[in-house]
Structure 1
Amino acid sequence: MNKDFSSSKTAVGESAREMQIRRMPFEFPDEIDPHWNPRLPEWSHMANGASLAMPFLEPYLIRTLRKASELIDSETLKADVKLYMGQEAQHYQQHRKFNDTLIANGYVELPEVERRLSEDYKNMEENRSLKFNLAYAAGFESMALGVGHWLIRDREYLFGDSDTKVASLILWHFVEEIEHKNVAIDAYNYVYGDYFYRIYGVLYATFHVLKYSRIAYKLMLERDSLWSNLASRWRLMKIILRFHKNVLPSFFEACLPNHHPSKRPDPQWCNEWLDLYQKEGHTLEQIDTKNLTPGFS
């Protein structure tokens, strides 16, 4: 066992904030437009497709980290794992409610994608080793860290003038992904610490989640008669290229032998939203999608 790990307390030089479980009080009525960013319906469906995986991926991550916790002697790391599981439980419950609104809006093909996702995670859990599942968890969290930094850095373009409930769900989810960025890789390193197998987990998790996200957003774009529209496909291609340009550097960084998420400073905007939660009496303030350039201070 490799017992070197970093606590999920914020890094030195940042405010001394402990990770915590926070309630996400979002409501998603059926009348929410699936094109929640009307300027970028293709981006809306890319994010919707990723959301479809969350009620299956995140319970799988929780069960995996719970099993790993039984092999961890460090009380500090075990406490971090418990907080990680609590945050992920909040995330997938909110995505479940949001995904139900997508299906209610006529995307009747999505339950079949959900069935396939459920089977995939069940098969991995039952037929693959804990080492594989924990490497997958660490790999997914490495990808999520890069995506989270991109979403925050590019928030004005991606979420400007969009539905505040959906934008707040996605961005807050990734704020907490950034907050618990150390936990899965610390658990993997503590229990196994096999560098090359960790890279296998990064590759497998990244392409697995992206595969199902694409399946889902393609179905939704087809339902909207946008998939065969050349202008729509060009907009989609530009967003995909924007995604790769911003996220690929983080992907390659995650594959380095000395990679650890604690080395990457958290975005100031992310920290300000977390601080606002404390100032507002432990209530979550939705973002103003008409005014995303400034911070929260």
Structure 2
Amino acid sequence: MCQITVRHANFNFPEQIDRYWYSNSPFKTHFFNSITLLFPDGEQFMLRTIKRQIKQIENVQLKQEASAFIGQEAQHAVQHEKFWHNLWQQGYKFDTYLRFLRFILFNVCEHHLSIKFKLAMIAGVEHFTNVIAELTLKEELFAEAEPIMKELFEWHAAEEIEHKTVAYDVFQSITKNYLIRLLGMIIAYTFILSFVSLGLVTMLYHDKKLLDVKVWQEMLQLFFTKEKIFLKVFSHSIEYLKINFHPSQRDNLFLIKRVIS
């Protein structure tokens, strides 16, 4: 069992940070920029859903963990949103993207999905982010990134691993239905991949690099040949399909020690 601690981070991103802060790679930079665009509202959706459910949680320890989860996710939202200022300063426009994202999250998902499906979706999202978090720390995914961005993503990754069981346990506290869990994962992965792709295309469009062959070579490196993110996420995600799956079964808590205390 891991003690979940709410830390009050305060990232300050220098305005002179490189446009392509990840190894001078437009694709890799914008892949993670698109995640930064997605996180703040995505985190708000999750913490609002969990917050509304907290009163229904009977297990005292889980209730405390859920409260700490809310605190951590709120910090993630605030810190990632700070970097939007840098993106605006660099000339990127993503208001339309944000309006569409918020419509899907708050008008569609929040208002029209049942609490069981919302929690199943959040559990699926948390599994996805836990997989990415493990890759981030285990393989030092941000070794070639700007130091401040490396610090941001590694801090976030460590806390994702720290609270990896909470959303799943909250979902399980109201239903252990395997089909709902599976559908929640499908919704979560579809949502994440769709909006990360949309954010990525938006950024590359502004840079006039959508037809740049080098950019798509960088995609192949990140997903399939060098970092192999796609293949590793796919193989790790299969674990979620097991009937007796639980996030605690994956031994990765040791990874957070060098990042947070």
TM-score (norm 2): 0.94
Letter of the 1:116 counterpart:
F
CA deviation digits over 1:76-109, x for unaligned, max 9? 110000000000000000011112321221111x
Distance 1:171 1:23 in 2: 15
Choose the corresponding residue for 1:234, options 206, 217, 222.
Answer: 217
Q: 3-state SS of the aligned residue for 1:227?
A: coil
Give the equivalent residue in structure 1 for 2:89.
104
Task: Determine whether 1:150 maps to 2:135.
Answer: yes
CA contact (8 A) 1:37 1:163 kept: yes
Distance 2:124 2:19 in 1: 29
Give the equivalent residue in structure 2 for 1:43.
28
Give the equivalent residue in structure 1 for 2:250.
264
Alignment of 1:96-175 (within 5 A): 96-108=81-93, 110-123=94-107, 124-155=109-140, 158-175=141-158
Task: Determine whether 1:211 maps to 2:197.
Answer: no
CA contact (8 A) 1:202 1:255 kept: no
Q: 3-state SS of the aligned residue for 1:92?
A: helix
Letter of the 2:247 counterpart:
P
Distance 1:250 1:68 in 2: 28
Alignment of 1:1-297 (within 5 A): 9-10=1-2, 18-108=3-93, 110-123=94-107, 124-155=109-140, 158-241=141-224, 242-266=228-252, 268-275=254-261
Distance 2:172 2:196 in 1: 28
Distance 2:217 2:23 in 1: 16
Distance 1:39 1:104 in 2: 18
The percentage of aligned residue pairs carrying the same residue is 28
Structure 1: 5+ residue runs without aligned partners? 1-8, 11-17, 276-297
The structure where helix makes up a greater share of residues is: 2
Letter of the 1:20 counterpart:
T
Distance 1:263 1:269 in 2: 15
How much does 1:209 deviate? 1.1
CA contact (8 A) 1:222 1:228 kept: no
Q: 3-state SS of the aligned residue for 1:159?
A: coil
Structure 2: 5+ residue runs without aligned partners? none
CA deviation digits over 1:60-83, x for unaligned, max 9? 100111122121111111000000
With over 3 angstroms needed to count, the CA separation of the structure-2 counterparts of 1:34 and 1:256, relative to structure 1, is: farther
Give the equivalent residue in structure 2 for 1:5.
none
CA contact (8 A) 2:30 2:204 kept: yes
Q: In the comparison of the two structures, how many residue pairs are matched?
A: 257
Range with bigger deviation, 95-104 or 49-58? 95-104
Distance 2:26 2:36 in 1: 15
How much does 1:267 deviate? 5.1
Distance 2:50 2:19 in 1: 33
How much does 1:237 deviate? 2.2
